[in-house]
Amino acid sequence: MTKRARIIYNPTAGREILKQKLVDIISVYEKAGYETSIFATTPEHNSALNEARRVSEDGFDLVVAAGGDGTINEIINGIAPLDKRPELAILPAGTTNDFARALKIPRDDLVESAKVVLKKNVLKMDIGKTINENSVKYFMNIAAGGSMTKLTYDVPSDLKTIFGYLAYLVKGAELLPQLRPVKMHLKYDNDQYDGKASMFFVAMTNSIAGFEQIVPDAELDDGKFTMIIVKTGNLVEILQLITKVLNGGKHVNDPRIIYKKTNKLEVSSEGKPLQINIDGEYGGDAPMTFINLKQHLGIFSNLDNDKKKINNGKNKEIEKVKEELAEKVNELPEK
């Protein structure tokens, strides 16, 4: 039988470059043996999610997620709950494209991104699942909570686009005085943390907002989250920790954080509701449970690529962020 593929794409992503390349992209999937059709998402709520679930239940063999990390997350939420799940391919057409970065998929040429399918290198990849009293959601990259995370909702979107998750915190440093450690209870594999923290997160991959040093030892299929708890709320110390991240992941042994591997995390808090960020968007409030679904989705990857080539062009940005951090550390008084 002929295999079927459905390209679900966000027509507003990537300055509409994706639409210009669709004919060439479809040709690639046809060459790979897929009878290929397309679906353009609409402003309707859960448009990509509903289409991904529909074609999966209809027996399609491949779903191609074409857009930014938000579109990919929505498509994964349509596929992940099903007993029978199609394979997934990624066409990165967003601004940061963390998920594609982690899989070493080309991010500057969508036709080359499509050609990853020709290598037939399917990775059985872990997917995160979140559960609270109101909903069940899935994520492919990161879930986080705390006052430091809450700042991400207040920073203008253009700064997020230009500077990434950590860098725009530096550019939006006027918001940092809002940091207040939150009393949290975090229960994870054979251990727990009770105390104040400005942020916690669980990561699936090594790429968060374009930076690969935050989780330097991440594995994509080991059934484990990387959990980081940032205990300090001191402005100078926060900036020092970010500097350690950018200097080769030297934060992992810093006593101001907890860095652990776990396949499950239960989170609750005291006082004001603790908002949870899931793959960059608000995903509900704690108490919440995070479960790692080991090797849950088959995703086409390009992990045999030369890392140096994949990372070209990023070093200058990192050096610029380091300079900004040094300036901010000098400006802020010790407490």
- Catalytic residue (choose from 16, 281, 317, 334): 281
Q: Which residue has the tokens 């407490």?
A: 335
- For residues 48, 202, 127 and 187, what is the CA-based torsion angle, rounded to 10 degrees? -120
Residue 30 bears catalytic tag = no
Per-residue three-class SS string for the chain: CCEEEEEEECCCHHHHHHHHHHHHHHHHHHHCCEEEEEEECCCCCCHHHHHHHHHHHCCCCEEEEEECHHHHHHHHHHHCCCCCCCEEEEEECCCCCHHHHHCCCCCCCHHHHHHHHHHCCEEEEEEEEEECCCCEEEECCEEEECHHHHHHHCCCHHHHHHHHHHHHHHHCHHHHHHCCCEEEEEEECCEEEEEEECEEEEECCCCECCECCCCCCCCCCCCCEEEEEECCCCHHHHHHHHHHHHCCCHHHHCCCEEEEEECEEEEEECCCCCEEEECCEEEEECCEEEEEEEEEEEEECCCCCCHHHHCCCCHHHHHHHHHHHHHHHHHCCCC
Q: Tell me the backbone φ, ψ of residue 177, rounded to 5 degrees.
A: -60, -15
Active site residues: 281
